[in-house]
Chain A
């Protein structure tokens, strides 16, 4: 079975541009979360979507937005890119969104570099 897939693998942008990152969850998983991992730190929660609704948002500016589609895939959008947005962006999926403790399954991430 396919795991969580993310595209693209690597991306180089310049300051001020916008970017769209994509994620396909494991088949049957309805919850998708996005994390930002800066070098030397742990993943930091950005968004969670469950059944196409936003269920949680981390401490990130409004330049960050996301959505989930009817097939449960998801996009993360970042506008007006800053140098500090350079990071590994991880997508994670799980079968349920809430009321059930369960681990998440992570993709291999998109490495975003801002010049």
Chain B
């Protein structure tokens, strides 16, 4: 039973346009959500996070939205750049311990010049 799901294995967008990556979760105990970016042959790199007490968090070109009632979060990248091409993982944790994060299977984003 996968508790964190990223239903789109891949996404392709044009440079300069918006990229929207989606993530759904089933465990109501999750209260901290993170997005990581992963390039080939490297470990995941933290991108942005959001606590369940918020519904939006922004950091430069990256914004994460959380809809707790729908158990859904999304990552918006505006504008998308070719260097954003990577695998994006959604992760969730509960009980203020992100050291036990549950990850989705990732979405491969390709930004075309």
Contact = CB atoms under 8 A, between A and B. Distances in A.
Interface stretch (A11-19, A62-70, A72-80, A103-111): A103-111
A104 B98 contact: yes
B105 A40 contact: yes
B49 interface: yes
A89 to B, nearest CB: 11
Contact of A98 (B4, B36, B99): B99
Contacts of B93: 101
Interface in B14-65: 31-32, 34, 36, 41-46, 49, 51
- Chain B residues touching A, range: 20 to 34
B100 A56 contact: yes
Contact of B101 (A45, A108, A109): A45
Contacts of A101: 31-32, 49, 51, 93, 96, 98
- Main SS class of interface, A: loop
A24 interface: no
A103 B103 contact: no
Interface in A2-50: 4, 31, 33, 35, 40-45, 48, 50
7 smallest beta-carbon distances between A and B, as pairs: A42-B103, A106-B43, A103-B46, A48-B99, A101-B32, A56-B100, A98-B97
Interface of B: 4, 6, 31-32, 34, 36, 41-46, 49, 51, 89, 91, 93, 95-106
Interface of A: 4, 31, 33, 35, 40-45, 48, 50, 55-56, 58, 90, 92, 94, 97-109
